[in-house]
Structure 1
Amino acid sequence: MLYVQETLDRQTGLLATNTIGEYITVTELGHKYRVGPKRVRAILHHMGVLAAEGRRYRLPRAHVESGLGRRHDNPRSGHPFDVLSPECQALIAEAWDDTVADLDSEAEPPMRHAKAALDAFRSTRELTTQQAVCWLCDHYPRLLHRQIADILGVTAQLVSRFTKLRAKQKQIKIARKAQTLPVLQD
C-alpha cells in the first residue's frame, strides 16, 4: 500500500501530499517469499524484525521510531497489524536466505529427536497413523503440523484432521469429568 504524508502549507492553506513509500503487511511479505503467515512471522522474529508481544509477533516500537515500519494498533477491522517500510523490506531481502537456513538448521534436531523417540516407541507397539500423530502431539507439543507430517510421511491436512479430532475428544472427556454423578437413594 502506498503511504503518503499530508502537510498543511500555512501560507496558501492547501494540503501538500508527499509520498512516503510502498509499505506492505507481514502477510504480504510472506506471499512474496511464498511462505505462510505463521512461517514468515517466525522467520522475521528469528531475524529480529518482529518481537513477541502477548500471543502475537509485532513490530517493536523502537523499529517504528527508526523508520522500519508502522504499527496499526486499533484499525477498523479490529485486528492489530504492522506494515514494513521499503527500507525494512530491503534489509529483509538481504538477510532472508541466511535466516531461513539458520532457522531450518535449528528446527532439524527436534525433528530428529522426535522421529528417533517415535521409532523407539513403535518398536514396542504397533501404532496407526492417528495414534502416532497423537503420540507426537503429546510428547513434542512444539512441533508444527508440517513437521509431524514430514516425520510420518503423510500430508499436513491429515495431521490437522487428527489433531482436531484429538482436541474434540479431549473436550468431551473434560465435559464428562465435570458432570456430577446422581445421588442414589437406598
Structure 2
Amino acid sequence: MLYVRETLDRQTGLLAINTMGEFITVTELGKKYGVGPKRARVILHHMGVLAAEAGRYRLPQLFVERELGRRHDHLRSGHPFDVLSPKCQALIAEAWIDTVTDLDSEATPTVRRAEEALDAFRSTRRSGLSTQEAVCWLCDHYPRLLHRQIAEILGVTAQLVSRFTKVRAKQKQIKIARKVQTLPNLQD
C-alpha cells in the first residue's frame, strides 16, 4: 500500500502530498520470500525487527520512530498489524538469507524430528490443526521439548505455548479426578 504524508503549506494554504513509498505487511513480506506468516514473524523476530508483545510479534516503537514501519493498533476489526517501510524492506533483504541460515542451524536434531513428525501428522488430517492442538500434540509425542522449542516450531511466542500447556495440564487433572470419582450407589 502506498503511504503518503500530507503537510500544510502555510504560505499557500494548500496541502502538499509527499509519497513515503510502498509499505507492506509482514504477511505480504513472507509471501515475497515464500514463507508463511508465522515463519516470517519468527524470522523477523530472530532478525530483531519484531519483538514479542502481548502474545504477538509486533514492530517495536523504536522502529516506528526511525520511520522503518508503522503500527496500526486501534482498528475496527480489533486485530492490530504492522507495515514495513521500503527502507526496512531493504534492510531485511540484506539480512534475510543469513538470518534464515542461522535460525535453521540453531534447530537441534530433536526439534527437526518433531517438526517433521508434526508436518507428517498434519498431512494425514483432513482439516488443519489449531495452534493449541499442535502444542498438545507436540507435548504428547515429544515431552522433553522446551516451550521455546515448541514456540519455534509453531512460529508463536513461548508465552502462548505456556498458556496452552497450562490449559492442557488443567484438563488432564479434571480427567484424572473424574476417573477416581466414585459412582453413586443406585441400589435403593
Q: Normalising by structure 2, report the TM-score.
A: 0.66
How far does residue 11 in structure 1 lie from its aligned partner after superposition?
A: 2.8
Relative to structure 1, the CA distance from residue 182 to residue 110 in structure 2 (aligned partners, 3 Å threshold; closer, same or farther) is closer
User: How many residue pairs are counted as aligned between the two chains?
Assistant: 151
How far off is 1:35 after superposition? 0.3
Structure 2 vs 1, CA of residues 112 and 53 (structure 1 numbering), >3 Å: closer, same or farther? closer
Paired residues of 2:30 and 2:40 also in contact (CA < 8 A): yes
User: Following the alignment from structure 1 to structure 2, what is the Cα–Cα distance between the partners of residues 135 and 3?
Assistant: 47
Alignment of 1:102 onto 2:102? yes
Closer/same/farther in 2, CA of residues 16 and 181 from structure 1, 3 Å limit: farther
RMSD of Structure 2 on Structure 1 (CA): 3.6
Task: Report the equivalent of 2:162.
Answer: none
**Per the alignment, in what secondary structure is the counterpart of residue 143 of structure 2?**
helix
Instruction: Tell me the residue number matched to 1:89.
Output: 89
The 3 A distance-change label for structure 1 pair 11 and 145 is closer
Q: Return 5+ residue gaps in structure 1 as ranges.
A: 119-128, 147-166
Shift of 1:171: 5.2
Contact map agreement 2:4 2:20 (CA 8 A) in 1: yes
Q: Greater relative contact order: 1 or 2 (C-alpha under 8 angstroms, separation 6 or more)?
A: 2
% same residue: 64
Tell me how far apart the structure 2 counterparts of residues 84 and 59 of structure 1 sit (CA, whole Å): 9
Which 10-residue stretch deviates more, 12-21 or 134-143? Answer: 134-143
Q: Rg: which structure is higher?
A: 1
Question: One-letter code of the match for 1:76?
Answer: R
Corresponding position of 1:40: 40
d(CA) in 2 for partners of 1:58, 1:105: 24
Q: How does 1:40-119 map to 2 (within 5 A)?
A: 40-111=40-111
Q: Is 2:50–2:60's contact at 8 Å kept on the other side of the alignment? A: yes
Query: Shift of the alpha carbon at 1:36?
Result: 0.6
C-alpha displacement at 1:63, in angstroms?
1.1
Give the Å deviation of 1:183: 5.3
Does 2:151 align with 1:138?
Answer: no
SS in 1 for 2:102: helix
